[in-house]
């Protein structure tokens, strides 16, 4: 059994202008539930500062599998719960 839940994902780009040897880093910093899944993937900038920018990606979904329920429980009740995001 597989269940899908529509979500939007917040991705953050951090730059390091004072460290020429470092490249930008990208991280998923939030996953937000939405009522209905968008018909296509879209991206919009939602925050910008001198060294970072955040983007809202819409049109994604989380897929859950019944066989993995124990792993989901362990993840959500652990010290550092997380979501693996593939864009």
Show me where the domains of the chain are located.
Answer: 2-77
Length of the chain, in residues: 87
pLDDT at 87 over 80: no
Measure the CA–CA gap between 6 and 60, rounded to whole angstroms: 6
Laid out side by side, the sheet with 25-33 consists of 25-33, 2-14, 52-65, 42-48
pLDDT at 69 over 80: yes
The set of residues, in sequence order, having a beta carbon less than 8 Å from that of 38 and lying 6+ positions away, is 6, 58, 59
Per-residue pLDDT at 39 = 86
Which tens digit of pLDDT belongs to each residue from 10-59?
999 999 888 878 889 999 999 999 998 888 999 999 999 999 999 999 99
Per-residue pLDDT at 2 = 58
pLDDT at 9 over 60: yes
Per-residue pLDDT at 70 = 96
């Amino acid at each position: 059994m597989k269940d899908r839940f529509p979500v939007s994902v917040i991705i953050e780009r951090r730059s390091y202008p004072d460290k020429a040897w470092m490249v930008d880093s990208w991280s998923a910093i939030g996953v937000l539930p939405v009522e209905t899944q968008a018909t296509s993937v879209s991206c919009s900038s939602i925050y910008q500062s001198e060294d970072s920018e955040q983007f809202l990606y819409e049109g994604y979904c989380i897929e859950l599998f019944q066989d993995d329920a124990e792993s989901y429980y362990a993840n959500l009740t652990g010290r550092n719960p997380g979501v693996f995001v593939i864009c």
